[in-house]
Amino acid sequence: MCLCTCVRHAEGDELRRFQDIARGRAAGLATGRYSNYFVQRVLDRGSTPFRQELVRELMREVALLSRDPFGNYVVQHCFLNQETGLPQAELLPIVLRAFAGLPQQQLQGLVHHAPGNLVLCSLLETGINHCPELTRDLASRIDLLDRHVLEHPHSQMVMWFVERILLPQFFTFSVG
């Protein structure tokens, strides 16, 4: 937690050193009990190009991070600012593309197990209002998964969002 305070107050070269540490060890830090907070704070303090670069690095391991008890919070922080509840508009498309590009088996694992299915629900809910086309692409990929996975009780919440995204005439999302 001390590192989070340091990042919050760092400027210039100090901030760049923290960013270099986060960039070089992003996935490992994101899965740590306390270091996941460090990655989230570095994301908060970075410039837009740095934040995009760091999110791209994290998205290389998006399936692993989404299923991790600590990493899932970092993944969610990549597209949704936890303090304000607002989407991170410049990062959301990167995250949506990373999820949509996952192999079917990895996507299936996320739909079927927590906390990955919670990350997916949050992503679908956020994405439909801010990146509808990319979100529909992801929902369509999920809808093509094996029926035994989609009908499993752990998949019901994700499928609720998928159905509402793919059948918009029955339901609309509202932010706020």
pLDDT at 170 over 80: no
Residues across the chain: 176
pLDDT at 13: 86
> Domain containing 142 — which CATH number?
1.25.10.10
With cut-offs at 50, 70 and 90, classify the pLDDT of residue 19: confident
Indicate whether this model's pTM tops 0.85.
yes
**Burial label, 85 (beta-carbon count in 10 A; 0-12, 13-18, 19+):** exposed
Q: Which helix (H) or strand (E) holds 169?
A: none
Q: Report yes or no: 154 and 112 within 8 Å, Cβ to Cβ.
A: yes
Whether 176 maps to a domain, the answer reads no
Whether 174 maps to a domain, the answer reads no
With cut-offs at 50, 70 and 90, classify the pLDDT of residue 44: confident
Overall domain count for the chain: 1
pLDDT at 141 over 80: yes
Whether 93 maps to a domain, the answer reads yes
Q: Report yes or no: 132 and 175 within 8 Å, Cβ to Cβ.
A: no
The average confidence (pLDDT) of the chain is: 89
In the numeric block, the tokens 């990062």 are attached to 91
3-state secondary structure 47-73: CHHHHHHHHHHHHCCHHHHHHCCCHHH
